[in-house]
Amino acid sequence: MTKTIQPELTLVGAGIGDPDLITMKGIKALRRADVVLYDALVCEELLEYAPQAKKIYVGKRVGQHSFKQEEINRLIVSNAFGGGHVVRLKGGDPFVFGRGHEEMVYAQEHGIRVNLVPGISSSVAAPALQGIPVTRRGDSQSFWVITGTTKEGEVSKDIALAAQSSATVIILMGTKKIDQIMDSFKAAGKEDTPVAIIQHASTPHERIGLGKVHTIADIMREKDLGSPAVIVVGEVVKHHAQYPKALSEVVAKATVTV
């Protein structure tokens, strides 16, 4: 008698880069996967937890989309019905700018059972690993997490709204729009607000740039920082251990230039 294969999808958040930051539940899902569809920001070391599975790279990066979202959706469905258990391994958390909900709904509409395993989001983990709290008594009572670039390729209008608040503002996928983003904070009178840009958080290649709203764009270019990176704007950035030193270096350089 032929065994009926139950099509199943598990959306797994892989965390922010360090393979040790995936959850145990995520590892268990990989161990019983028949197919793994994984993204560009996923550490490929995690694929070793699924030695028996077929691996399909469906990474998407700015300007380098190997698959459109509609194609990924179809791959999920075809592999679930053809192989059984599909693990969709996504960087960070699937529901934080990861389009995980779209994939979940698409799969459910095709009769596929869906599980969700949350992951650690770079929006809070990247600052934390640099000693920057996203909230701190006396500095910030809340935080915004905003995409720097919308699907139309424009700067999110929410940034201008967030800039008017006293909250910590965390911007993902925003380095290519750094000048326009900082213009929103300047327009809100925040020229001297501390800023950090953290690239490749939690990996051996992690780097950071520290400055203020009116200097950070030049610092980013000088340090050659870029995607993937997290931009943190707010008074909490001043608690980074190197922040005073970074500011003094900027001032010294400006004095020499003059």
Report the catalytic residues. 39, 60, 173
Interaxial angle between packed helices 178-187 and 216-223, expressed in degrees from 0 to 180 and rounded to the nearest 10: 160
Provide the token pair at 98: 């990861």
Helix intervals (H) in the chain: 24-31, 69-83, 100-109, 122-129, 158-163, 178-187, 216-223, 243-257
Task: Report the distance separating Cα 232 and Cα 212, nearest Å.
Answer: 10
Asked whether the beta carbons of 9 and 101 are under 8 A apart, the reply is no
Identify the CA nearest to 9 among candidates 75, 59, 91, 96: 75
H or E element that contains 9: strand 8-13
